[in-house]
Structures are given as structure tokens and as C-alpha cells.
Chains A and B, each alone.
Chain A
């Protein structure tokens, strides 16, 4: 035996996170600002897994997208409440500054945009699928990138918009699509998507939304290799 055995490969470890602040985005969603000592940094579009453990040892894990570039060891998640969920009602309604939770990440290198990429970029968000795309919008602003960005944000109505003021003030092309304010409600359609064939496209939202938008994009002539998607299901709870 020697005393220089190679270290075990370090897998993605659980890190202790302390809540620094919380702020409401809508009636059903809020942003949680966390301090995570040891945070290695992340790219726009990545997510984290959050683990909550009950006093009896039962634990539950959920994935949430990072909403902004990291500021040192400080990062932001935006969480939508799923009413019958196990985890999100606690995160949205009960979590307070100084509370602690466990977190691992950053996770996922595919659904990412890097600030040295010149664009153009088309972002298509369905509901809370805006969160990782907002991280891209914010990373672009922080980096001073001039990559042309267009965001199509499908959401039920104005009361359900996340980051509404910030998006309206951003120096990118933002198009809100309200699906439940008219009567009858409507779904995203070909005419809602700008003609940006050749752009890198990021689509995030519920599975049905992402499948619909992907079909529209392919029908409009976008190459499959230009389209990156992230689907979330009812599991978000």
C-alpha cells in the first residue's frame, strides 16, 4: 500500500445551498437565490437537481433550470408550483432566506448557449420553459454580446409572464404569445415563429409544446441539427 492512492473519481456531488433571497415572479412561481459554496460555475441553459430530505429520512429530488449566470457562488432558480407536487409547493410557498437544501450540478451540456457564439439565436419558450432561455438572455447581456436574439414566449396571459419587465426592457426581439386571453384559447402556430432558418434554435417547455414547435420548425425548413430542445413533463412537482 502506498499513501498516494488515486482519489476516487469525484462524481457530481451534492452541495449544501443556503437560501439568500426569494422573490415572486407570478402567483405560482418564484425565484430562489442561493449561495452554494464550491459552486463550479455553469453555462446558460443548464439545470440543477434539488434534494429535500424529511426528518424521517424520506427524500425527493427534482430538476430546476438555472435562471441566470452565476455570480460567484450565488445562483438563481425559478420554480413553478405544481399544486399536487411533493417539492415545488414547499419551494414556492414556504422556503425562506437562511433555509438550507441540497443541490447538485451544473447538469447538462447539450441545451446550452455560450456567450462567444455569434448567433443568430431563436428562443421559443412554453410557460415555465422560459427559465433556461432567460439564463441565455441574461448571459448575453452580462457578456455584452451582440448576438441577434429573438424570443417567442408562449404563456397563458400577462399574469403568467415571468421576468415581464426585464424582458420588455431587453435589447432583443421579444414576442409574447398569449394563449388563454383570447376566446377560444389558441396554440402556437407557424405564423408565430419568425423566419430564421439557419439560426440556432432552443425550444423549452412541456413535452407537447416542444413536440409541436419542433414540427413547425422542421416544416419551415430548419435543420434538425440546428434545433436543441428540452422537455419537461408533469414530473416537475
Chain B
């Protein structure tokens, strides 16, 4: 029986040049990182490309990671910066984010009705709100962790989650018993 290596052990091995260890890091965190980026970007192919860039940047900067056991939040921080960079490059071409999303096919692969409804609802929120929602509601991160990942004040994150949630409930037409 093989024992499950901790994140810190995998980071240590990857820093020593083990590709196998880094591949395990990718396997372990790809789902969370890609889901986050898909919710932030709203486009699967772009999100997956950004996720690959995120892991590549992580591999390059692995030696700068201070707390190897907190690699997931570090990866999310990189992913968020990559997503913001992409949004900036889109704005440099003088195209608004909504235009950019409208020009793309809604989905590369067929999705469920719930999936499509959520993608469309998220697309109506500002990027910062989408990121806060993706972390705190979809990803189960605490507001404090989300504030660190997104490099935003705690109050801003709480406000984004509250407003974004209310907007999603309204768009999706779900019954909200929490408020």
C-alpha cells in the first residue's frame, strides 16, 4: 500500500527536481484551480489555459513558497493574478469583458442545465465578485483565506460574497432560506 504524501513532502521532492512529485501536485490541485478559474473567466478553454500557466508559474517559483503545506492557497493566488492579467490584456485591446465573453461560444462541451445556468449567472457579476463567490461559496474557503488569496481587505470580500450571492439567487431564481 502506498502512503499518501503530504503537500509539503511533494513540494520538497519537486524542489529537488522530481517531475513525478510535481505531477502529483498537479493531480491533487487541478480540479480546485480549474473550477475556480472557470468561474472567474467564464470560458472553459481560456480557464484551462490559465490553469496550465498557473502550474507552470508555480513550478518556476516553487523555491519561493514559504509554507509548502499551504500550496493550495498559494496556487489560487497565482491563478487569480493570472486571471487579472488576462482581463488587463483584454482591456488593453479596448474590448470590454462583457464583449469578450459575448463573442465566445458559451460552452466548448455540452453542460448540464444547472451548469449553463450558473455560468450565465456568474457572467453577469463583476470579476472581483465572481472570484469571491467562487472561493467562499463554491470552494468552501473562509473569508479570511479568500481575502489573502485575492489580496483584498476582509470587509471587501465579505461584501462581494454577500452582494454576489444575493445577485445569483435573484438571477437563478432559487429560494433562499439563509437570508
Q: Do A and B come from one complex?
A: no
